[in-house]
């Protein structure tokens, strides 16, 4: 497998997808660090994977009771949630218009 680097073009695409904005200096620093981190990550490409090894999501086998029942449970104090929002209107979160939405 080839050792890849993140191009400036791909980096700027990722910044848009991540809903971020960066100054030029911040962008240059982050791209450099991403490629340095990728050098470390690329070591994984050299690992001889054991035959039949299955990916693991937690390392340990999760021994929990599993997800809760998919049942609606009202939050006792919804006003506390709304009180923490930057802007509300008629008991709902308020946001600016979505461009192009009717």
Partner 1 sequence: MSLNQLSALEVAARVRAGELSAREALEASLAQIHAVDGQQGSLEQKPLDPSEEQKVHAFIRLTEDLARQQADEIDRKLSAGEDPGMLAGVPVSIKDIFTLQGIETTAASRILWNFKPPYTATSVQKLIDAGALILGKVNLDEFTFGSSSESSAFKPAPNNPWDPSRVPGGSSGGSTASVAAEEVALSLGTDTGGSIRQPAAFCGVVGVKPTYGRVSRYGLMAFSSSLDCPGPIARNVSDAALMLQVIAGNDSKDSTSSVVPTSNYLDALKEGVKGLRVGLSPDYTHLFYPDFETGELAMESIQKEISDSVQHAASVLADLGAEIVENVPLPNAKYGIPTYFVVSRVEAASNLHRFDGVKYGYRTPVEVDDLQDLIRRTRAEGFGSEVKLRILMGMYLSSEGYAANYYQRALKVRAMIRRDFDCAFDPHGEHRLDVILTPTTATTSFKRNDVFGNTVRMQYSDQMTVSANHAGLPAVSVPGGLDADNLPIGIQFIGPDFREDLILRAGYAYEQATLDEAWRSVRPAVLRQEVAK
Among 9, 65, 70, 90, binds partner 1 (CB under 8 A): 65
Q: What is the CA angle 48-50-54, rounded to 5?
A: 125
29, two tokens: 């620093």
Q: Which of residues 35-64 bind partner 1 (CB under 8 A)?
A: 35-37, 39-47, 49-50, 53-60, 62-64
Please provide the size of the chain in residues: 102
**Nearest to residue 28, comparing CAs of 43, 16, 46, 12?**
12
Residue of 72, 73, 90, 99 that binds partner 1 (CB under 8 A): 99
Chain mean position to CA 2? 26
Q: What is the contact surface with partner 1 in residues (CB under 8 A)?
A: 1, 3, 6, 10-11, 14-15, 17-22, 26, 29-30, 33-37, 39-47, 49-50, 53-60, 62-68, 75, 77, 80-81, 83-87, 93, 95-99
């Amino acid at each position: 497998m080839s050792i890849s680097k993140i191009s400036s073009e791909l980096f700027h695409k990722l910044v848009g997808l991540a809903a971020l904005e960066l100054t030029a200096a911040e962008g240059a620093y982050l791209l450099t660090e991403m490629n340095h981190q990728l050098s470390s990550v690329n070591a994984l490409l050299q690992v001889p994977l054991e035959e039949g090894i299955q990916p693991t999501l937690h390392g340990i086998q999760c021994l929990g009771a599993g997800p809760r029942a998919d049942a609606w449970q009202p939050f006792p104090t919804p006003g506390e949630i709304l009180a923490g929002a930057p802007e509300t209107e008629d008991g709902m979160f308020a946001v600016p218009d979505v461009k192009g939405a009717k």
